[in-house]
Structure 1
Amino acid sequence: MSFEHAPVTKAMMVGAGLSSFFVGLFDVKYYFHLQLVPHISRHHQYWRLMTQYLAYQNSSDLFLAELLLYNVGIHIERRFGSVKFASFLVVIALLSTLLEFLALLLFNPLGLNYISTGASVFIYSLLYQYSRLVPSVYQFRIFGIQLNNKSLNYFLAFQFAISRLPGSFVVAIIGIIAGQLYRSEIANFDTYRVPLSAVTFSRRFILPLIGSLRPPRRPTRAFPEDSRPTNAPLAGLAAHENDEVITTSRRPSSTTQATTARFRNTDGSVDVGDDSTGSRSSVMREWVDELTGRTDRTNAGIRVPIESEISQLTNMFPTVEREVVVGALQRR
């Protein structure tokens, strides 16, 4: 899975990683910590309600957040579209800020005085959308428990929710509630879109900074490389001698193969083939027949196609390899 069609998710992951790194590097974590007492009640630092989303306090929280954003955020952004996904994040930020402030005021007598920092509330809102929109691909059982391919993400989110009780658990509940409010038709939060000027600015100045979004190029090899352990000098020599990349391109003509044919003697010397194309083709055909067991199949009664039939089908289907044509004629 790549970041194709998911630039906002990649920007979130890169931004969370860089901000957490520089916050720890310059030792300014105390600016991103949120407590009701004394930050809000005594010093009236309400700006902490927004700066708390910018950085994580430790590397373990950052690692779990990056895993969940990669596994969940990409799916949701591809379903929403980048503009709607960015609008979703803005709405969740406003709703969660209000809900967290109310939670601190209401549950402070019960011992709730701080809120876990970082973009965790966005992750739980995304997880709610993920559970409602993305179907499971496969299911499996472990000790009789029915699980699916989405269970690992839920397990990581649960571990994240209980990492710093009670603040982390409150953040998880608030994120789920904010996600439910976004999907509900109470206030039509899902109809909000970020301004066009912000979209244009992001595409022109921010999108080039996050790097390429293209998926990795798939190799053209028909078969994977041999990964069996071998002796290093012999393996290098064999790799140099058998340096052939098997692709799905069209095979060269028989004349070219006959011209470039080489034969190795039993004593290790190499002889260049004869100038006669017919003799070289017959020797090569016999050698191929011995390797593929075609002579045994002929003796066993299996039909061997003639060259005219092979040429006719090859001309009709030029993109099909010769072995496929021969196999199809043998099965007639």
Structure 2
Amino acid sequence: MNGGPSGFNNAPVTRSFIVASAIFTVFSGIQGGAHKLGFSYQDVYQKVNFLKILESAFAFSSTPELMFGLYMLYYFRVFERQIGSNKYSVFILFSSMTSIICEVLALALLKDTSLKFTPGPYGLIFASFIPFYLDIPVSTKIRVFGVQFSDKSFIYLAGLQLLLSSWKRSIFPGICGFVAGSLYRMNFFYIRKAKFPEFISSFFARLSWPSIGRMPATSTRNAMGSMPSYAVRPVEPNYPAPVPSTPEPLEASIATLVSMGFDRSSARQALIQARNDVNVATNILLESQSL
């Protein structure tokens, strides 16, 4: 099992979030302030530092947590491909904010001044385990020493490692993430219907790295800015206009939909209908399942 085609194809928001998380972690580590991040009772109820709260929402406190966290964020990009970048942006904001509120309430109930929750995007990561458990099918099963594992087991083990990485400091943020994912799943305040405007996904898409090996488009203008003579040709009146043909779906697009749990035949037909637009094809398949 994987998250679909490799790379961040159709997942620009996930890519930007991972880059931001890595930058915040490295920056706080260089400054030697990683141990100062995280929520404590004093930070929330005595001296509120919003910059520290923002940094704690992105930066991990150690290299192992960073590796496991970024790996799971990278895998969970499948959900952005499934629901689209605009809705996935709402999911990130909702799960992060809900998790922070839950952590604040937990600190108020515990009133343990020595407890400081570990920093990092735990809310988003563990909120993603709810749709991962409910929506992602098992594709392969293996047996090791008489114990049966599935391809999803490795994601669960990575999540368990992150959840228990700092014991109480990491368990509570993980539980708050589960709460946030459950509320989103239950469509709390009809949150699953909300989405950001189209320019949000367009903005993140423009942040993509240039494609390696891609040749730049050759300009059809000469140095003076005028069209070259060979670029303008008379239209042949006797030739009929070409009839646009239905494009054959890309194998990578089919693999993306198959990784979401759709069968190959339905995925191919939806892509033909959507003219190779994965997001549109996903909506077509989801609507057909709801009928």
| Cross-structure match for 1:90 | 93
1:52 and 2:63 aligned: no
Alpha-carbon distance in structure 2 between the residues aligned to 1:13 and 1:33: 19
Distance 2:41 2:211 in 1: 41
What letter corresponds to residue 202 of structure 2 in structure 1?
R
TM normalised by structure 2 equals 0.65
Change (3 A) 1:57 1:83: same
| Aligned CA distance change for structure 1 residues 135 and 36 (closer, same or farther; 3 Å) | same
Q: Which residue of 2 aligns with 1:183?
A: 185
Report the aligned-residue RMSD. 2.5
Structure 1: gaps spanning 5 or more residues: 217-332
Amino acid at match of 2:102: L
The 5 Å alignment of 1:295-306 reads none
Among 4, 26, 41, the residue aligned to 2:9: 4
Deviation of 1:80 after TM superposition, in Å, equals 1.1
Aligned to 1:134: 136
Instruction: Give deviations 1:12-33, integer Å, cap 9, x for gaps.
Output: 1111111211221233436633
- Between the aligned partners of 1:98 and 1:213, the Cα distance in structure 2 is 40
CA deviation after TM superposition for structure 1 residue 115, in Å: 1.2
Q: Secondary structure at the match of 1:62?
A: helix
Q: Which has the larger radius of gyration?
A: 1
Residue 70 of structure 1, CA deviation = 1.6
**Map of 1:59-208 to 2, 5 A cutoff?**
59-71=63-75, 73-109=76-112, 113-196=115-198, 199=200, 203-204=202-203, 206-208=204-206
Equivalent position of 2:208 in the other structure: 210
More displaced, 181-190 or 85-94?
Answer: 181-190
Partner-residue secondary structure (3-state), 2:143: strand
1:43 aligns with 2:47: yes
Normalising by structure 1, what TM-score? 0.58
Distance 1:36 1:54, change over 3 A: same
SS in 2 for 1:193: coil
Q: Any unmatched runs of 5+ in structure 2?
A: 1-5, 215-291
C-alpha displacement of 1:196: 4.7
Contact 1:104–1:112 (CA under 8 A) maintained in structure 2: no
Q: Aligned partners of 1:171, 1:162: CA distance in 2, in Å?
A: 11
Shift of 1:180: 0.7
1:186/1:11 Cα in 2 relative to 1: closer, same or farther (>3 Å)?
Answer: closer
Q: Which stretches of structure 1, 4 residues or more, deviate above 4 A after TM superposition?
A: none
User: In structure 1, how many angstroms separate the alpha carbons of the residues matched to 2:211 and 2:166?
Assistant: 34
Distance in 2 of aligned mates of 1:35 and 1:149: 37
